[in-house]
Amino acid sequence: MVEIPQGGFSAPKGVPEYVGPDFVAVRDALVREADRAGYGHLELPVFEDTALYARGVGESTDVVSKEMYSFADRGGRSVTLRPEGTAGVVRSVIEHGMDRGGLPVKLRYAGPFFRYERPQAGRYRQLQQVGIEAIGVDDPALDAEVLAVADAGFRALGLTGYRLELTSLGDAETRPAYRAELQRFLETCDLDEATRERARINPLRVLDDKRPEVREQLADAPLMVDHLSDAAAAHHAKVKQYLDELGVAFVENPRMVRGLDYYTKTTFEFVHDGLGSQSGIGGGGRYDGLMAELGGQELSGVGFGIGVDRTLLACRAEGLEVAPARRVEVFGVPLGEAAKDHLVGLVGQLRRAGIRADLAYGGRGLKGSMKAADRSGARYALVLGDRDLEAGTIQIKDLGDGTQTEVALADAAAAVDRALEG
């Protein structure tokens, strides 16, 4: 028999829990902006074949080499808790033939993702994301739309202290020549053997190294934006033009390297300086070869993943109230069993009418029930006792100023609706 640990059970290390409306408000605000732009919901599996991420994300990335939760299931298959969303979305598009209809395929997702990292504020082993992917059309206007959706989500929450950093990681014509030049540069650097191996597999990954002694040596490294092909440069220029037309502010960061191998052309990150070292609140880019790499058509895609956890921390850093303080609008206070019988039905009627309503359960007295009403944040309490039942009335109490109004019990729902509109 498994024993209860001393002190009781607790959540796994690095797994945050959210109690209250703030987390839901942030997540839903981000999702709402994707809905407004026509992105349909996709519910992704929580785990996938390990090879999907090894092939799609890139074996040289930290995500694949260090951070994945991979294990053998009871059938001996290697599966991995999803570390990111794009590879799973592309797999789903291919598997279900969504790319055989109208393009682009526009999908959005939300939920938990898993990475084995050293936990700290803003960096968790179970992280929450909202993401969108637009697959099948290589159009800089679509890149700009994806960026605008993320920007609109942050603005809807009232955030102002963030910035969009933007660059281009080139195309199939750009990258071979740049890769060769970068490798020549890296050969002149004093790198440890593990870093040299990463440079051999994918030299761009070395540019993402956070160690000060490595970053110092990379100060004069060649930049991708200085080696763009004519087509990639034209694409990047159009993205910036469309962002200007959409009113989305950005700064260019030519040294940006995202942590996933599949990015090409437009690459971006939203950064909030109020979060310390974990300043990225979202990012993404275009991925021209991922569909074909995973067995699909030669179709391009573009998307983002926004960290709900970090966005919530950014809202708190700016002192924003992102969720209504009121859990409910109306709270029923029954004084006796007969009154509760009536209020159960009335609360259900209010909920069906779209009014958030709750009820004092457990046979509490008046004092305890009114305390519960205050804690709920409700604007009004519906107080019903035996005398009210005999008279066919109910008391509507304004919990703000303490005033109380008596109305006919049969008209209670309509009276509550009028009071809430007033």
Residue identified by tokens 């993320």 is 150
pLDDT (0 to 100) of residue 201 = 79
- Output the six-digit token pair for 92: 């789903």
- Residues ≥6 apart with Cβ < 8 Å to 364: 372
**Burial letters 330-350, b for 16+ CB under 10 A, else e:** bbbbbbeeebbebbeebbeeb
pLDDT (0 to 100) of residue 395 = 97
Please enumerate, as own/partner, the contacts of 187-196 that have beta carbons within 8 Å and a separation of 24 or more.
189/214, 189/217, 189/218, 190/217, 191/217
Pseudo-torsion of CA 403, 20, 158, 84, nearest 10°? Answer: -160
Mean of per-residue pLDDT scores for the chain = 92
Which residues of the chain fall short of a pLDDT of 70?
59-60, 258-261, 325
User: Do 300 and 134 contact (CB within 8 A), yes or no?
Assistant: no
pLDDT (0 to 100) of residue 258 = 67
pTM (2 d.p.): 0.87
pLDDT in tens, 251-290: 999 888 765 667 889 999 999 998 987 789 999 999 998 9
